[in-house]
Structure 1
């Protein structure tokens, strides 16, 4: 686990010497007042930015002889303001930064393109905490003599992310471990962070008008609180190790309960290369395809078989072992459970997509909550159109070339046009937020490594086990 992130969001582990953190250390704001002040500063920065943008557009309107006039109502939605917000959330870290990461993967579901693009920087490496702050956390969790438990403790973090940072250690009894150490104050600030950031975005009118912001905030708070509980993550790691025991190409690190607390997670240091090295020249296409198939099959099994999904598919949450061809799975904080009815509806809508049965897609979209009973026919049709588009890999027979696909840009453009411009899409229900993060992130991972995967062939057996059969034309 001596790692460089690729790009980092949660700690990854890489063969070789420990890499220095990508950013200089910066103290993590711990108090509610301090974190609220940071959000207030963000609001002030955005207000000034919006005022400047409004004046610029007003001058442009007056100088344009009969040309297009700008709408001053959207001055706060500029790309510059989006970048200001992203920079402020990155300095906060914790729940604020994590919420920004999540929103960056929602695409046209929730945010205009300027904001999704700007918030993407939050999936990069965060600033680590200063050494004094790190030592205080270790003393609080392990006690005054904590250093005596370790033969070596590398104080330069392997990686620093939104909620914590990772250090490589060797215990006094010879175990080679990675410690994920949470930033102080993160857990108790999550609810306030989410509420403050959601209020700021609501003030800026970033969300669509029909967005159930309290429900979205509540779901984000619940999930982020789980991610900040490292005892819960340790249990998820152990559960996943059992679930994927029949997948020889997957590896899951062991946890070490004697050194794990609610705020420190001790795991095996895992050897491997960043998943992005698969895209390097000289790596055989067959190797890329094999690794991509392993990742895609796992995603479908999580939804349709395990009903348990790790919903943070950041590039850095996978390692690849060139010598064995195996994939190492890392970071299980963002694990969600799906109930049987939800999975059954998703199986049916997947079947309908593969069959090209648009009427059935519409019915199951209503069952899931993408549309509502009584919605206008044009809204239902817009929902069907977007679902059919984003499920393109399932509709394609044979291997789908993820790297060559422009599906993300096409789906963003269609979603923005139908949802923001025409008002023909509902905001997806909050319970789908983390599933969408996994679906989008997995697509980006496969594109990143240049994989070609037959997604349809992977999902059909799983649907069959649920008693869901596609039409003969869908199987061919």
Structure 2
């Protein structure tokens, strides 16, 4: 059971309650900001900048702590801003928002049970539900359950009451909070991204959509034993309750993973990227949330011949149009062949790239070539750092330090200002691959993923 201090007794679901909480937090943060500016009036420029960053960090941390108490979509919005906010917000703010992913305060069972009773009615009597959640998130928490008739082990993903109805007002509150506290960038691109987050929130709280998506991915992967997709139990599912089979596994970043043999970690790493490639180029729809909490690994035992990746969450699925998919495939193929000219040509026909001067595109293409380095080989990529890839074209993710190298190259690139706010579709795709790359780096995999691409 969670400690008492880790349990939220009451959920603020009314629009008025949430407005008052955010208004109070915004006022306090704004007052602190004004006070900090006033006390820095006679300081040197260096001291002013030091105090500004300190005040910004304190301001952001305070706001995030208050947001975390509200649960619901406003927390999810903050988490999305942490993922993609590097393009809009100061580093101090995104660092603070990132801590929202670690806030696992559960809602008290006495508040959840009446909601569960209202949704399932008499069917609830057919279940034995553990009152202590096995997982908490911004929009829902997960409880284990046993079907009394046959002992089937299940989980109930229980959406917090009032969450769906609060999305639009929470979006407005979050935007107002950023504006009041001088954290909001006044740009058209930010407004477009905010609207995209709003649409994502509405999709994510629709459990009918998530149930259908989970079934669809289960069908996609039914003949691939490397993956496990939970089975949806329609009998105990409602628009606000998602019931599925309980699937065991260990966290991706657990100590048990790192003691596996190199070969086993290699296979798990290859599977993690292989599914990202299939999502983008075969199925045309992608799980856009790279949070490690959405995955488990079920280790092989005496009855199994291979380790398996358990895919837990299909609420953040996004479809892509064929034009974008074709261009993305062409970019990766150019990276596979390590072909600068092909990489540059692959950009043609997409509005974001078409408005970039032709003189800048080769520089941008070089950044993409570096990002797709794992798809290349010794045979066609003379720029591979020594020791990063073996003769069998197995890429050493930990040794490569690829993410840092790409960021360093991009920041120095002539095209850096065009990378500042890329199209939202590219944000999703890049974050997905960064998530897969991070997955393989964390488990110290060495992978040959060329065959997965072709």
Report TM bin, short chain: 0.7 to 0.9
Q: Is the 8 A contact 1:241 1:252 kept in 2?
A: yes
Distance 1:380 1:204, change over 3 A: farther
Partner of 2:386: none
The equivalences for 1:435-450 within 5 A come to: 435-450=429-444
Q: Alpha-carbon deviation of 1:396?
A: 6.1
User: Relative to structure 2, which stretch is displaced further, 78-87 or 194-203?
Assistant: 194-203
Do residues 335 (structure 1) and 309 (structure 2) align?
no
Q: Is the 8 A contact 2:280 2:325 kept in 1?
A: yes
Distance 1:262 1:84 in 2: 34
Q: Is the 8 A contact 1:314 1:445 kept in 2?
A: no
TM-score for the superposition, normalised by structure 2: 0.84
Distance 1:356 1:74, change over 3 A: farther
Say which SS state the counterpart of residue 275 (structure 1) adopts. Answer: coil
Partner of 2:426: 432
Q: Alpha-carbon deviation of 1:305?
A: 0.7
Distance 1:155 1:368, change over 3 A: farther
Partner of 1:23: 6
Do residues 47 (structure 1) and 30 (structure 2) align?
yes
Distance 1:234 1:300, change over 3 A: same
TM-score for the superposition, normalised by structure 1: 0.81
Do residues 92 (structure 1) and 70 (structure 2) align?
yes
Q: Alpha-carbon deviation of 1:291?
A: 0.8
Distance 1:205 1:36, change over 3 A: same
RMSD of aligned alpha carbons: 3.2
Distance 1:191 1:256, change over 3 A: same
Match of 1:36 among 19, 39, 57: 19
Distance 1:57 1:414 in 2: 36
Distance 1:318 1:49, change over 3 A: same
Partner of 1:453: 447
Q: Is the 8 A contact 1:49 1:76 kept in 2?
A: no
Q: Is the 8 A contact 2:26 2:181 kept in 1?
A: no
Distance 1:254 1:112 in 2: 42
Do residues 303 (structure 1) and 280 (structure 2) align?
yes
Distance 1:114 1:328, change over 3 A: same
Match of 2:374 among 389, 393, 399: 393
Q: Give CA-to-partner distance per residue, 1:97-130, whole Å, 9 cap, x none.
A: 1122222222643333323322221222421112
Q: Alpha-carbon deviation of 1:226?
A: 1.1
The equivalences for 1:48-127 within 5 A come to: 48-55=31-38, 57-61=40-44, 68=46, 70=48, 78-106=56-84, 108-127=86-105
Partner of 2:164: 187
Distance 1:307 1:74 in 2: 44
Partner of 2:330: 348
Distance 1:95 1:360, change over 3 A: farther
Distance 1:418 1:50 in 2: 35
Q: Alpha-carbon deviation of 1:225?
A: 1.1
| Runs (5+) with no aligned partner, structure 1 | 1-17, 62-66, 462-476
Say which SS state the counterpart of residue 275 (structure 2) adopts. Answer: helix
Match of 1:287 among 264, 276, 287: 264
Q: Give CA-to-partner distance per residue, 1:137-190, whole Å, 9 cap, x none.
A: 1122112x454121x211011111111001111122222110000111111112
User: Relative to structure 2, which stretch is displaced further, 396-405 or 110-119?
Assistant: 396-405
Distance 1:317 1:217, change over 3 A: same
Say which SS state the counterpart of residue 195 (structure 1) adopts. Answer: helix
Distance 1:430 1:281, change over 3 A: closer
User: Relative to structure 2, which stretch is displaced further, 439-448 or 213-222?
Assistant: 439-448
Distance 1:207 1:146, change over 3 A: same
| Runs (5+) with no aligned partner, structure 2 | 379-392
Q: Is the 8 A contact 2:141 2:157 kept in 1?
A: yes
Match of 1:402 among 381, 397, 403: 397
Distance 1:118 1:440, change over 3 A: farther
Partner of 1:154: 130
Match of 2:107 among 126, 129, 133: 129
- Asked which structure has the greater RCO (Cα within 8 Å, sep 6+), the reply is 1
Distance 2:22 2:377 in 1: 45
Match of 2:226 among 232, 235, 249: 249
Q: Is the 8 A contact 2:36 2:51 kept in 1?
A: no
Say which SS state the counterpart of residue 309 (structure 1) adopts. Answer: strand
Distance 1:236 1:73 in 2: 48
